[in-house]
A and B are shown apart, each in its own frame.
Chain A
Amino acid sequence: MQPVDMTTFLLRRLVFMALTVLGAVTVTFVLANLVPADPARAALGPDATEAQVANYRRERGLDQPLLVQYGRYVSAMLRGDLGTSIVSRAPVAGDLGKFIPATVELLVPSLVISVVFGFVLGVGSAFFRGGVVDQLARFVSLLGLSMPVFWLGLVLQLVFFRWLGWFPAGGRLATVLSPPPNVTGFYTLDSLIAGNWQTLQSSLIHLVLPAVALATLTLGIVARMTRSSLLDVLSSNYVRTARSKGLRESVVLWKHALRNAAVPIVTVIGLRLGQMFSGAVLTETVFAWPGVGRYAFTALKQLDFPVVMGFTVWATIIYALVNLLVDLSYTVIDPRVRLE
Chain B
Amino acid sequence: MSSVSTTVRVPRWRRVTRHVSPLGWVSLTIVLLAVAVMVAPSLFANHQTFTINMAQRLKPPSAVAWFGTDELGRDLYSRAVYGVRLSLGSALGVVLLTALVGIPIGVLSGYLGGWVDGVLMRVSDMFIAFPSLIVAMAIVTVIGPGLTNAMIALALVWWPQYARLARGQILQLREMQYVEAAGALGARSGRIMWLHLLPNSLTPLVVKMSLDVSVAILATASFSFLGLGASPPSPELGSLVTQGRNFFLQAWWYTTLPGAVILVISMAFNVIADDLRDILDPALRR
Contacts and interface: CB of A to CB of B under 8 A. Distances in A.
Contact of B133 (A135, A138, A281): A281
Interface string A49-87: 000000000000000000000000000000000000000
Interface string B103-135: 000000000000000000000011001111111
Interface in A17-60: 19-20, 23-24, 27-28, 31-32, 34-35
B82 interface: no
Contacts, number: 136
Nearest to A21: B129
Q: How large is the interface on A (under 10, 10 to 19, 20 to 34, 35 or more residues)?
A: 35 or more
A154 interface: yes
Interface stretch (B91-99, B198-206, B247-255): B247-255
B280 interface: no
Interface in B253-271: 255-256, 259-260, 262-263, 266-267, 269-271
B81 interface: no
Interface in A129-184: 129, 135, 138-139, 142-143, 145-151, 154-155, 157-158, 162
Given A148-B221, A279-B133, A155 B126 contact: no
B184 interface: no
B222 A150 contact: yes
B270 A146 contact: yes
B140 to A, nearest CB: 9
A323 B129 CA distance: 9
Contact of A143 (B262, B267, B274): B267
B134 A311 contact: yes
B277 to A, nearest CB: 11
A300 B131 contact: no
Interface of A: 16, 19-20, 23-24, 27-28, 31-32, 34-35, 129, 135, 138-139, 142-143, 145-151, 154-155, 157-158, 162, 231, 235, 274-275, 277-279, 281-282, 285, 296-297, 300-301, 303, 308, 311-312, 315-316, 319-320, 323
18 contacts: A20-B125, A20-B129, A23-B129, A27-B135, A28-B135, A28-B138, A31-B139, A32-B142, A143-B267, A148-B221, A154-B245, A157-B248, A162-B252, A235-B286, A278-B131, A316-B131, A319-B131, A320-B129
